[in-house]
Chain A
Amino acid sequence: MAGTYHFDAADRHNAFITRVESAAFGDGRLAGIPVAVKDNISTRGMQTTCGSRILKGYIPPYDANVVELLREAGAVIVGKTNLDEFGMGTTTENSGFGPTTNPHDPARVPGGSSGGSAAAVAAGMVPMALGTDTGGSIRCPAAFCGIVGLKPTYGRVSRYGLIAYANSLEQIGPMGRSVADVATLMEVIGRYDARDSTSYDRPYTHALSGEIRGMTIGVPAEYFGEGVDPAVAECVRNAIATLEGAGAAVEECSIPSMEYALAAYYVTCTSEASSNLARFDGVRYGPGVGTKRSWHDEFQEFRSEHFGHEVQRRIMLGTFALSAGYYGKYYAKAQVAKENVRRDFLRVLKSVDVIAGPTMPTIAFRLGEKSDPLSMYLSDVLTVPANLAGVPAISVPCGRVQGMPVGLQIIGRHFADEVVVDVAFAFEQEGSACM
């Protein structure tokens, strides 16, 4: 039933950049349910910053497709959540609006880049939220904050109105306290939209089933290799044993292209970012640029002042990877590598129904722990393959290590989002694997 929702939950973790005090809502599947939206998704009439000073004050004149669908379903959009600037980070520390902290331990990061959405859900401010996942940005914060997060199959959710960072990799997806909430939100947003040329007409409608008897789960050796905290690995192996106990068969498998997947990911996303972020020059939106001096002088100064260091670094890495003389060594190779990763997943997923492993190699980092950019990039090693392959992947809480949540990642075939959700649901019914 239509009405007005008052949003007065205290924001102890800096989860929101912009929030509303109250909002009217209509009838529908999500009538009166507060939903938080990551601040790189356009909301008509509500500031959208991408966590960047370069878009401070920008009020989109239109809604993203997913926001239209939320409004039609009666959801209350209570605010816009914090993120690493333009989604570039694994901790939400790279925000132009200050870091978000982890509700389980405020001395730790919530993960990123959808850290604000994850913290808002984990802190109980909202039951569900939208995030975006370019290389793990939904699954990482879901794992670190102990909630559920789904990166849908590429093409399943419209990117119309998502402010682009790396178009060929990113998807909008649902985050929530339970698998059922994530499935409900996915049913609302998983719709065809002609305004996104990569949108695929395969609407998500699904009745949850926890029945996994007869299914085969592949466990790739690479997901338990070097750099994965042994305690996290053990927790996840226990979780997989729980699924086995529920009737699934478990099979060892291998994704050899994991060796270079992370490098392929970073070359691809920085290259796309260097092109996509060229539009931020202060002329059409955001804080205004000066008009007195020459084009390049004004732009250089404006972009240096308003972009954070990580964004500047990624734009420059991409500019370099696409430059004459280096294109063949970096970008062209990365595209071959990306295709190899896709083929590896297609091959393995012929003989198994889903692949399971840890979402992240460790528990949530302490604030400031990953000050070196390369060490931060390396922590994405288990999440980026699904983006390169375009397959769906979900993170579901599977226990705790040192009191911090651990996520079990389940990866499925293209357009088998329903299957990964079902496996996550089956696990959720069985309970935690370790405490």
Chain B
Amino acid sequence: MISEREVESIAKLADIRIEKEELGEFTVQFNAILEYFDVLDRVEAAGEGRADLVNVFREDKVRPSLPVEDILANAGSTEDTFIKGPRVM
């Protein structure tokens, strides 16, 4: 079982804010789902890995990208060719 406090702390890690009045229901649903996930305890931890997968690499070459103005068009707040975000400090 995880507590309302733990749910609040997970929400914070995920940059989501849960309203106080929603926290109780969220926690109940969260626990019901986690209880269902317990079926995974029956899976042997050391399963066999995949040997048949290969990585797909390419040379890191500079290629044409999208026009800067097209990208900036979707941003809420811009200055020159920059996108403005919230304060870091």
> Is there contact, CB below 8 Å, between A299 and B18?
no
One of A286, A301, A315 near B17 (C-beta < 8 A):
A301
In the complex the two chains form, what is the Cα distance from A340 to B56 in whole Å?
Answer: 24
Query: Does B1 have its Cβ within 8 Å of any Cβ on chain A?
Result: no
- Distance between A35 CB and nearest chain B CB, rounded to angstroms: 24
Assuming A61-B66, A330-B37, is B83 touching A291 (CB within 8 A)? no
Assuming A292-B87, A303-B16, is B10 touching A316 (CB within 8 A)? yes
One of A259, A312, A335 near B39 (C-beta < 8 A):
A259
Assuming A263-B37, A313-B29, is B73 touching A59 (CB within 8 A)? yes
How many residues of chain A have a CB within 8 Å of chain B?
65
Assuming A58-B74, A263-B36, A340-B43, is B49 touching A316 (CB within 8 A)? no
- Distance between A218 CB and nearest chain B CB, rounded to angstroms: 23
How many residues of chain B have a CB within 8 Å of chain A?
50
Name 7 extra pairs, CB < 8 A, besides A286-B74, A288-B75, A333-B40. A259-B39, A288-B76, A291-B84, A295-B87, A319-B14, A333-B43, A373-B32
Query: Does B70 have its Cβ within 8 Å of any Cβ on chain A?
Result: yes
A interface majority secondary structure: helix
User: Which B residues are in CB contact (< 8 Å) with A284?
Assistant: 71, 74-75, 83
> Is there contact, CB below 8 Å, between B73 and A374?
no
Query: Does A274 have its Cβ within 8 Å of any Cβ on chain B?
Result: yes
Give the interface centre of B15, B67, B75 by most chain A CB atoms within 10 Å: B15
| Interchain residue pairs A-B with the least CB separation, the first 5 | A288-B76, A336-B47, A61-B70, A298-B86, A285-B74
In the complex the two chains form, what is the Cα distance from A296 to B88 in whole Å?
Answer: 9
User: Which A residues are in CB contact (< 8 Å) with B17?
Assistant: 300-301, 303-304
Query: Does B62 have its Cβ within 8 Å of any Cβ on chain A?
Result: no
In the complex the two chains form, what is the Cα distance from A283 to B73 in whole Å?
Answer: 12
Find the B residue at minimum CB distance from A319. Answer: B14
> Is there contact, CB below 8 Å, between A323 and B13?
yes
> Is there contact, CB below 8 Å, between A300 and B16?
yes
Query: Does B42 have its Cβ within 8 Å of any Cβ on chain A?
Result: yes
In the complex the two chains form, what is the Cα distance from A336 to B43 in whole Å?
Answer: 7
Find the B residue at minimum CB distance from A320. Answer: B10
In the complex the two chains form, what is the Cα distance from A284 to B70 in whole Å?
Answer: 11
User: Which B residues are in CB contact (< 8 Å) with A307?
Assistant: 16
One of A287, A301, A339 near B47 (C-beta < 8 A):
A339
User: Which A residues are in CB contact (< 8 Å) with B66?
Assistant: 61-62
Assuming A303-B16, A339-B48, A340-B47, is B29 touching A291 (CB within 8 A)? no
**Which of B27-72 touch A at CB < 8 Å?**
29-30, 32-34, 36-37, 39-50, 56, 58, 66-67, 70-71
- Distance between A324 CB and nearest chain B CB, rounded to angstroms: 11
Find the A residue at minimum CB distance from B32. Answer: A374
User: Which B residues are in CB contact (< 8 Å) with A289?
Assistant: 76, 85-86
Query: Does A350 have its Cβ within 8 Å of any Cβ on chain B?
Result: no
Query: Does A328 have its Cβ within 8 Å of any Cβ on chain B?
Result: yes
In the complex the two chains form, what is the Cα distance from A197 to B56 in whole Å?
Answer: 6
Q: List 26 A-B contacts (CB under 8 A).
A: A61-B66, A61-B70, A194-B58, A259-B39, A264-B40, A266-B33, A267-B37, A281-B15, A283-B84, A284-B74, A288-B75, A289-B86, A294-B88, A299-B15, A299-B86, A303-B17, A304-B16, A312-B11, A313-B26, A316-B7, A319-B10, A328-B45, A329-B41, A337-B40, A339-B47, A339-B48
- Distance between A383 CB and nearest chain B CB, rounded to angstroms: 17
Query: Does A5 have its Cβ within 8 Å of any Cβ on chain B?
Result: no
Assuming A313-B26, A339-B48, is B83 touching A373 (CB within 8 A)? no
User: Which B residues are in CB contact (< 8 Å) with A433?
Assistant: none
Query: Does A365 have its Cβ within 8 Å of any Cβ on chain B?
Result: no
One of A278, A290, A304 near B86 (C-beta < 8 A):
A290
Find the B residue at minimum CB distance from A288. Answer: B76
Assuming A292-B87, A323-B10, A328-B45, is B67 touching A61 (CB within 8 A)? yes
Assuming A333-B45, A337-B40, A374-B29, is B73 touching A296 (CB within 8 A)? no
User: Which B residues are in CB contact (< 8 Å) with A317?
Assistant: 30, 33
Give the interface centre of A198, A266, A329 by most chain B CB atoms within 10 Å: A329
In the complex the two chains form, what is the Cα distance from A278 to B50 in whole Å?
Answer: 28
> Is there contact, CB below 8 Å, between B85 and A372?
no
Query: Does A127 have its Cβ within 8 Å of any Cβ on chain B?
Result: no
- Distance between A47 CB and nearest chain B CB, rounded to angstroms: 11
Assuming A294-B86, A374-B36, is B75 touching A285 (CB within 8 A)? yes
**Which of A306-348 touch B at CB < 8 Å?**
307, 312-313, 315-317, 319-321, 323, 328-330, 332-337, 339-340, 343
